[in-house]
Amino acid sequence: MILYNGQIYGTEMQQELLERLPEDLNGFLKTDTKLNIEDVITACDTLAKRVKDGEFDDTVKPFLETFGVSKKQFDDLLYMFSRDGLQKKIDIELPDREETISGFRRKRYPLGILLHIAAGNLDVLPAYSVTEGLLAGNINILKLPMGDSGLSVKLLSEMISISPSLAPFIYVFDVPSTETESIKKLADISDGIAVWGGDAAISAARHFANVNTKIIAWGHKLSFAYCEPDCTDEDLRELARSICITNQTLCSSCQGIFLDTDSDEEADSFGERFFTIFTEVNASSKPADYGMRAKNAINIYNEKLEQHETKSRIFSKDGISVIVKRDSGLELSYMYRSVWIKKLPMDKIHLLHKNKGHLQTASVLTSNIEKRKQISDILANAGVVRITSSGNMSRTVPGEAHDGTYALREYSRIVETEFY
Amino acid sequence: MSYTGKLFRTRHIYDLSKTDDLFASSVRETCSFCYNNCSDYRRILDEAGFSPEKINTIDDLADLPFIPTLYFKHHTLTSVPDRKLIIKATSSGTSGTMSRIGFDLKSLMTGSHMVINVGKYHKLWSIKPTNYIIFGYQPTKTNKTAFSKTAYGFTFFAPARSRTFALEMTDSGYKLNWDRVLKAMEKCSKSRCPMRTIGFPAYTYFLLKDMKAKGIRYKMPKGSLITMGGGWKQFYTEQPDKKEFYRLVKEVLDIDEDHIIEFFGAVEHPILYTDCRCHHFHVPAYGRVIIRDPDTLKPVKNGTIGLVNLISPMVRSTPVVSVMTDDLGVLHDEGCPCGAKSPWLEIIGRVGVADIVTCAAGGEEYLKEGS
């Protein structure tokens, strides 16, 4: 499905509409129409209320089920689209005051035309990306991810029907990633490209974009916990709980634990301690997906066969596992409740810097407040952009920065005009 | 003659009770050979506290440590000197890495008896010259995938009058030549000789769908066969209902359902599973299947879904005697109208949830770079 200036078209119209787009956009830019941000907020707020009232339960319920999202978490998510939530986001990310400095008027403008290359990991993400583009006042072109369920067009066209003034600011195409010529054409007319996805997607965008096009990369990130051996069982329990809730599938999910030690024995006994807590928490959580448990059963069995080389210590039971490894590198876990534990003494935390651009959240677990401050500071210097307590690694709040920056600011530019 | 030699010459290919004891002895034989000649395999069994001597009855097979196919992707295991490996095959590498399995002459000879017997049972042997259409790679010296070898080998069940490959080797690598396949199909329909296709089911399906859309209809000569192997791979979600597929074959090529045959096998378990007229993959005498619970790895009752552990004593040059695939499946023993007594294996799909791509999982490509 294609959404073009408020109209829905079938995919057979794609080529024709792609051809028409540059001219139509030029025509529209000529009219100098500004997007009224209030209209965006009204559309989101009204739609969020309707979702909350159950109008979209057919779509929402399976989504919550698949990702194990609780009612409370979903309400928090909806709050981000409410008038309150969005206003807070704008206030924090776009302090939109005009300034006059040394004879210059300084004002924020939208970037202009923004191309969103969305990832397919979360159905609602493409529409969310466009919403952020709208909040900054941009014209938005969305390239749907492969296997899009149709939700993006549905949500965005609902928003247009609430606030018709949004129509000329939204264009959604279903161009396959393999059609690089078409994507390049879209990129050529855009001022910026917001690309979601893995390193391959970002590197592809860098490749086809012209040098005069800004790339805003929302890439995949890895997150972890940093523990002092003196951390409490309660802290570890909270960590285990967040691992079970997110199944380690989010950028902010804990993949593993770095322990402040250089002793293998200490790492082993910490592994055993965490495994005991993890097993208890898992027993009281909704079981992980069967297919993923099956996949991990093979992975863990294989790890055991390789143990004579890796010297890892492996604890596994009931489909969950803790692998105490001998290296200190940050890596993706097997996910779905498989956690690695590695030694990383405090004086080596700075070495995480080699993972620059991939680091996101770290939770710090220690009973010593002074030490926590110290560790947090070293982690921040190494490139980590969110530092939280053990249970809050994946909590979302309106107006929080995204991967170390503010999306709305990335989608804007500052124009200075001299008075003369 | 060795136990394995005897087992692969059995005529009771779908009555397992008749070969259970022989099967256990054969596995002990192959397992001992690999244990004595492959240090990595010996270590694996030793670490599990298992010795080949412990295999006395068919029930003991559940205790034989299995090796996941994943392990073969990162480790090359052989129990004969490299010079004795006549064929070094690799899996098709759906997930990016490939298993490397070596076959010596003895293992291949063992397998040839199986091919003869299975071919006889399923009436695959024919003396009529046949036009082959292969939805796979044209074999070259550099292509080591088991599929290209198997597909080529398959063209010897009946004398080949012609062979047309869908994936042709060109100067710039393999290229899909749909037009050539279509032309060959047309030629086959006009020939007096039967046509046989062999290939990945997905390619076969896509071609037939394309032909249907273009309004192309052929009446293939009597005795023509559609044969498929290699599974649906990345096209898993596009897999049609079997009945729909059979209707499509009838409509486009005028070939009846009982002339559509599917094979199942893996480079790590080169046993020729052939579907019966009810399209069930009965376990042949040359192999046994244990379905295991993912959480405990213990065998489950027939009819229950679990991880698919395949056992066969055929290959002695690589310790693939008991392998764990990355498939989920069910073993059915509710009886089959085709008359074969052995249970049949239904593959449900691959482990993992392929359709949920997560944002942390993108790190996997990052992981490859080593962090």
DSSP string, A121-152: SSTTHHHHHHHHHHHTT-EEEEEPPTT--SHH
Tokens of B129: 């010259």
Chain A residues with beta carbon closer than 8 angstroms to that of B360:
220-223, 248-251, 253, 255, 332, 335
Cβ <8 Å between B44 and A305: yes
Secondary-structure breakdown of chain B: helix, strand, coil percentages, each rounded to the nearest 5: 35, 25, 40
Averaged pLDDT for residues A336-363: 96
Q: What is the pLDDT, as a whole number, of residue A85? A: 92
Which positions in chain A touch B297 (Cβ < 8 Å)?
A: 297, 301
DSSP run (H or E) holding A413: strand A412-418
B70 near A CB under 8 A: yes
Query: Residues 6 or more apart from B161 whose CB is under 8 A from it?
Result: B129, B130, B131, B191, B193
Is A329 in Cβ contact with B371 (below 8 Å)? Answer: yes
Lowest mean pLDDT segment, chosen from A28-32, A126-130, A398-402, B242-246: A398-402
Rounded percentage of chain B residues whose pLDDT exceeds 90: 63
Show me where the domains of chain A are located.
2-220+403-418, 222-392
For B152-175, how does the pLDDT look when each residue is reduced to its tens digit (9 = 90+)?
778 889 999 999 988 777 776 667
* Backbone torsions φ then ψ of B238, nearest 5 degrees: -95, 5
Give which of A249, A305, A331, A356 to mutate to test B binding, by max B Cβ within 10 Å. A305
Q: Does B109 touch chain A (CB under 8 A)?
A: no
Give the pLDDT confidence of A26-37 residue by residue, as tens digits. Answer: 999 999 999 999
A361-369: average pLDDT:
96
CB contact at 8 A, A357 and A375: no
Q: In the predicted model, is pLDDT for residue B269 greater than 90?
A: yes
Dist CA B293 CA B308 (whole Å): 9
Backbone angles phi, psi at B51, to 5 degrees: -125, 145
pLDDT digits (tens, 9 = 90+) for A299-333: 999 999 999 999 999 999 999 999 999 999 999 99
Determine the pLDDT at residue B146: 60
Structural contact between residues A86 and A45, judged by C-beta atoms closer than 8 angstroms: yes
Residue B151 region by backbone torsions, left for phi larger than 0, else alpha for psi between -120 and 50, else beta? alpha
Structure tokens at A271: 């592994």
Residue A256 corresponds to which tokens in the numbers above? Answer: 């593993």
Report residue B46 as tokens.
């030793």
Coil, strand or helix at B306: strand
Tell me the pLDDT tens digit for each residue of B190-208.
Answer: 999 999 998 888 888 888 8
Phi and psi for A251 in degrees, rounded to 5?
Answer: -55, -30
Mean residue pLDDT of chain B comes to 87
> Does an H or E element contain B12, and which?
none
CA of A140 vs chain B CAs: smallest distance (Å): 23
Predicted pLDDT at B362 = 43
Render pLDDT for A164-190 as a digit per residue (tens, 0 to 9): 999 999 999 998 877 888 899 999 999
A198/B366 Cβ within 8 A: yes
pLDDT band at B96 (very low <50, low <70, confident <90, very high): low
pLDDT of B104 higher than 80: yes
Taking 90 as the threshold, does the pLDDT of residue A125 lie above it? no
Residues of A in contact with B324 (CB under 8 A): 298, 301
The DSSP code for A405 is: B
pLDDT given at position A74? 84
Stretch among A115-119, A351-355, B235-239 having the lowest mean pLDDT: B235-239
B44 burial type by CB count under 10 A (0-12 exposed, 13-18 middle, 19+ buried) = buried
What is the pLDDT, as a whole number, of residue A102?
84
The lowest-confidence range among A287-296, A358-367, B308-317 is: A287-296
Residues A113-130 as b or e (16 or more Cβ within 10 Å = b): bbbbbbbbbbbbbbbbbb
- Same CATH topology for A2-220+403-418 and A222-392: the answer is no
pLDDT of A160 > 80? The answer is yes
In CATH, A222-392 is 3.40.309.10: yes
Q: What is the mean pLDDT of residues B3-22?
A: 95
Say what the pTM is.
0.86
Report the pLDDT averaged over residues A2-14: 93
A298, A312, A317, A335, best to mutate vs chain B, most B CBs in 10 Å: A298
Q: Give B363's pLDDT tier (boundaries 50, 70, 90).
A: very low
Q: Specify the residue for token string 């939530």.
A: A85
Query: Cβ contact (<8 Å) for B68 and A301?
Result: yes
> Tell me, what's the pLDDT at A76?
83
| Average pLDDT over every residue of B125-144 | 80
Binned at pLDDT 50, 70 and 90, residue B99 comes out as confident
Instruction: Answer whether residue B97 shows pLDDT above 80.
Output: no
pLDDT for B237 equals: 61
- Percent of chain B exceeding pLDDT 70 equals 87
B111-133 as b/e, with b when 16 or more CB fall inside 10 Å?
bebbbebbbeebebeeeeebbbb
Domain at A2-220+403-418: CATH code: 3.40.605.10
Helix boundaries (H) for A216-310:
233-246, 264-283, 290-305, 307-310
Instruction: Tell me the residue type at A263.
Output: S
